[in-house]
Amino acid sequence: MFNPRRALVMAAAAVALALTSLPALAADIPPADTVVTSPNVSHVLNIPKPAPIAGTINTDIAFQGDYAYVGNYGGFSIYDISNPKKARPVSSVVCPGSQMDVSVYGDLLFTAVDSSRSDDSCNSTALTADHKEAWEGVRIFDVSDKANPKYIKSVETNCGSHTLTLVPGKGRDRNKNVYIYVSSYNPNATFPDCLPPHDKLSIIKVPLRNPTAAAVAATPVVFPDGGNETQPGLLLPTSGCHDITAYAEKDIAAGACMGDGVLFDISDRLNPKVTARTTDPNFAFWHSATFSNDARKVVFTDELGGGGGATCNEATGPNRGADAIYDISNGQFTFKSYFKIPRYQADSENCVAHNGSLIPVKGRDIMVQAWYMGGLSVWDFTDAANPKEIGYFERGPRSAGGGGGIWSAYYYNGYIYAADFHEGLDVVKVTDPLTNNARHVRTDRLNVQTQESYRNW
């Protein structure tokens, strides 16, 4: 999703989409605010947003041990999920700055800030990016005490940090450092810290024994000759990456880079190299990526309309605002098909392909994915040319009006956790012959943009 300084672009795209869309059939739209699911999906629990950040929207989620860390435009909250049926908030930190994407590693929580602030503190106020003193970047918190997280370090980065990706060190470096790949974009000649052409990543090196020494260690250029800038229908021309998913144990990463899909070799953590690149005439904005467990496939998402449009309707069709599934063979992309939720949404409902994760089923490629007001979808792309939905969870249009929906939906140790803009944290369970084997797979950490293989099937 875009941050406030890009709101004008979002609004124009949403208006354009609204003018061309047709109403979905009323009989297909759930009643306002009503939860509906497929027969194989159950709603286990809803936890409203804690009071300190109830007025701002939820975003991304990270997991470690018995805890979930939920980002929010106003800060973040930590939840005890040791018993998913009785999950509860432990603490909330008020520290405004969208989007607050989160990743956790040991006692450290990394949060992304891509809205200009008066300074790096949690007491900062909004400030336009044309001020040299404006701050954007990454904040680091010590979360060893879950009830009392401590803010320990900030690192400013060019054009802020729209999203971030944690990449562990390798070899002898693995227990010494982690690296944060910072994705940012949309430079402007009036922004002193975000000048054109940008087209790069900022890589923060974090010494694990001394995290307060974290600093930008490299700023490799992804598109030295420029990215996809002229394709008709692009939301914005390529000027960097929106999101990167790293598969560190395989030394690869997939970049969703505005107008381009990119494959990186990250064997040198400070010097990622582009090894493959693709575009798609149906894609308006390459948003995020998910590898299959064997890394022979990758799913890219298209954030058509910037997240503000009603794009899950008959007028938009099945191929725009969809996921694109690619085989990866000999280091190159081969397009196989599109996937989009088969349920039309009302024209009042912003709906877009958004954040999801694999459900670890041996021998199959299945993931759960958020679709904003389209809810969440569980779908199978084992046959990359013929993906299909297995189950779903969604709410009807908001009686309060306006947009919303599920930003992130991730599978962790037997349950699906979904961060809803307004409704808080939902706990969902899928019970289906195609997914039931995943119940036996456990992991002790999940940062979805830092994929790790599921080995203990």
Confidence of residue 455 (pLDDT cuts 50, 70, 90): confident
Instruction: Please say whether the beta carbons of 395 and 372 come within 8 A.
Output: no
Q: Once rounded to an integer, what is the mean pLDDT over residues 445-450?
A: 98
* Least confident window among 19-28, 143-152, 422-431: 19-28
Q: Once rounded to an integer, what is the mean pLDDT over residues 235-264?
A: 98
- The CA-based diameter of the chain, rounded to the nearest angstrom, is 60
Instruction: Please say whether the beta carbons of 235 and 254 come within 8 A.
Output: no
Confidence of residue 13 (pLDDT cuts 50, 70, 90): very low
Q: Once rounded to an integer, what is the mean pLDDT over residues 398-411?
A: 95
Task: Determine the pLDDT at residue 39.
Answer: 98
Confidence of residue 8 (pLDDT cuts 50, 70, 90): very low
Work out the mean pLDDT of the chain and round it to a whole number: 93
Which sign, positive or negative, has the C-alpha torsion 176, 168, 1, 158?
positive
Task: Determine the pLDDT at residue 340.
Answer: 98
Task: Determine the pLDDT at residue 456.
Answer: 58
Q: Once rounded to an integer, what is the mean pLDDT over residues 119-147?
A: 97
Q: Once rounded to an integer, what is the mean pLDDT over residues 392-419?
A: 96
Q: Is the pLDDT of residue 396 over 50?
A: yes
Q: Once rounded to an integer, what is the mean pLDDT over residues 325-331?
A: 97
Q: Once rounded to an integer, what is the mean pLDDT over residues 417-446?
A: 97
**DSSP 8-state secondary structure symbol assigned to residue 226:** -
Q: Which residues pair with 167 in a beta bridge?
A: 179
Task: Determine the pLDDT at residue 27.
Answer: 52
Task: Determine the pLDDT at residue 21.
Answer: 34
Task: Determine the pLDDT at residue 2.
Answer: 45
How far, CA to CA in Å, does 430 sit from each of 98, 111, 187, 291, 439?
Answer: 31, 30, 42, 21, 10
Confidence of residue 10 (pLDDT cuts 50, 70, 90): very low
Confidence of residue 1 (pLDDT cuts 50, 70, 90): low
CATH 2.130.10.10 fits 4-446, yes or no: yes
pLDDT tens figures, 207-239 = 999 999 999 999 999 999 999 999 999 999 999
Confidence of residue 28 (pLDDT cuts 50, 70, 90): confident
Confidence of residue 42 (pLDDT cuts 50, 70, 90): very high
Q: Cα(103)–Cα(98) distance, rounded to whole angstroms?
A: 15
C-alpha neighbours within 13 Å on the C-beta side of residue 152: 19
Left if phi > 0, otherwise alpha if psi is -120 to 50, otherwise beta: which for 102?
beta
Smallest CA-to-CA distance from 98 within 156, 59, 155, 69 is with 59
Instruction: Please say whether the beta carbons of 340 and 371 come within 8 A.
Output: no
pLDDT tens figures, 54-69 = 999 999 999 999 999 9
pLDDT tens figures, 433-443 = 999 999 999 99
